[in-house]
Amino acid sequence: MTAAHVHHPDLTRNQSLVYDVLNGSDAPLSAYSILDALRGEGFRAPLQVYRALEKLRAYGLVHRLESLNAFVACSHPDCAGHETAGFAICEKCGKVSEFAEERIAAPIRDWAKREGFVLAGSMIELRGLCRDCREG
C-alpha cells in the first residue's frame, strides 16, 4: 500500500487493505479470496475481511453482488449518492459493469409508490455476455 493513495478520510489499515485488493481486481472477489490475498499482510480470519467490507459498504466504496456472493469496488467517483445501482455480470469473462440509470431507477420507485411499499434499498443484477465476449 502506498501511503500517497488515500481512498477515504477515515479508512483504517484493514479497511484500506481490503479496498485496495478489490480496487485492483478486474472481477468480483469473494471474502475468502480477499483473505487469501491479504495473508501476507497478516490477515488470518474471515472476520477481519467481513468487518472491513461492512464498513466499506456503509461508506459506499464497495458493493456486494448477491448473486455471486462476491464484492466489487464502486466504479463511481463518489458512490454514496446513487441509491439504485445496477450491475451487469458477464458470464464468460466475469467482468462487472456498474450502472446508475435514472431511467431504470425511476420506474422502480414508481412501482413502490403505487404499491405502498416503502423502498429501503434495491438490488439489480443482470447476467449475460459483455460486448467484448459476445463476439469471441
Give CA–CA dist 12/39, Å, rounded: 17
**By C-alpha distance, which of 63, 48, 59 is closest to 17?**
48
74 in a known ligand binding site: no
Site for Zn ion in 87-106 (CB under 5 A): 90, 92-93
Q: Does position 13 bind DNA by CB under 7 A? A: yes
Q: Does position 58 bind its own copies by CB under 8 A? A: no
| 51 contact, one of Zn ion, its own copies, DNA, none, CB 5-8 Å limit per kind | DNA
Who's near 104: CB < 8 A, 6+ residues apart? 84, 86, 124
Beta carbon nearer to Zn ion, 8 or 76 = 76
Q: How many CB atoms lie within 10 A of CB 113?
A: 11
Binding site for DNA (CB under 7 A): 10, 12-15, 30-33, 42-48, 50-52, 55, 64, 69-70
